[in-house]
């Protein structure tokens, strides 16, 4: 079992989430780089894998945080991959895609055991506000690749849904999970 600290949609620029022991940190977006690095320090400096959210800055993550957007990495026997951003609900901003762009990109992402995303699959944990709408492409990814787990932020809710054999977990704030 891999024990992970999951971070998503944290407005503070200071880590206030305590300490403990985990094997890795997964950031699902809309979390400042300094919070991710401080959390890593508080939890014994495990590897940190992350994707950006629609409120995050443009640019690379600093040393100590590995960007998983459209990449995969093997860690402790699990294959992790990632997809950043939300759907394009406004004309300007970073890390936003229309449904067709997300579909084209996700067609090229290899199969994973754990997929970390900022946004949710469409119809799973969506809000009814035209901002917090999921990606159709994530539903297609789940259907095709059947990851064991899809973790997402963006919806500001801690919820879990099962689609086929995939657990879809929405995280708001922080959560420690056994993967």
- CATH classification at residue 137: 3.60.21.10
Cα angle 85, 88, 93 (rounded to 5 degrees) comes to 70
CA distance linking residue 121 with residue 135, whole number of Å: 5
Residue 142: CA count within 13 A, CB half-sphere: 23
Which domain range does residue 167 map to?
3-178
Q: What is the pLDDT of residues 144-171, one digit of tens each?
A: 999 999 999 999 999 999 999 999 999 9
Q: What is the pLDDT of residues 56-73, one digit of tens each?
A: 999 999 999 999 999 999
Q: In this structure, are residues 17 and 174 in contact, taking their beta carbons and an 8 Å threshold?
A: yes
Domains in the chain: how many in total? 1
The answer to whether residues 39 and 14 touch, using CB atoms and an 8 Å cutoff, is: no
Report how far residue 109's alpha carbon sits from residue 98's, in angstroms, rounded to the nearest whole number. Answer: 17
């Amino acid at each position: 079992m891999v024990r992970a600290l999951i971070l998503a949609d944290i407005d503070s620029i200071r880590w206030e989430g305590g300490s403990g022991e985990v094997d890795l940190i997964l950031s699902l977006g809309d979390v400042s780089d300094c919070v991710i690095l401080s959390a890593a320090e508080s939890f014994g400096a495990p590897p940190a894998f992350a994707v950006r959210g629609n409120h995050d800055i443009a640019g690379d993550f600093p040393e100590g945080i590995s960007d998983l957007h459209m990449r995969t990495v093997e860690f402790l026997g699990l294959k992790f991959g990632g997809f950043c951003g939300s759907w394009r609900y406004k004309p300007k901003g970073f890390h936003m895609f229309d449904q067709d762009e997300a579909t084209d990109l996700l067609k090229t992402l290899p199969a994973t055991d754990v997929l970390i995303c900022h946004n949710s699959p469409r119809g799973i944990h969506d809000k009814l506000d035209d901002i917090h709408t999921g990606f159709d492409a994530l539903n297609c990814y789940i259907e095709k690749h059947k990851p064991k787990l899809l973790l997402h932020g963006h919806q500001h809710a801690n919820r879990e849904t099962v689609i086929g054999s995939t657990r879809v977990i929405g995280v708001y704030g922080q959560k420690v999970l056994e993967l």
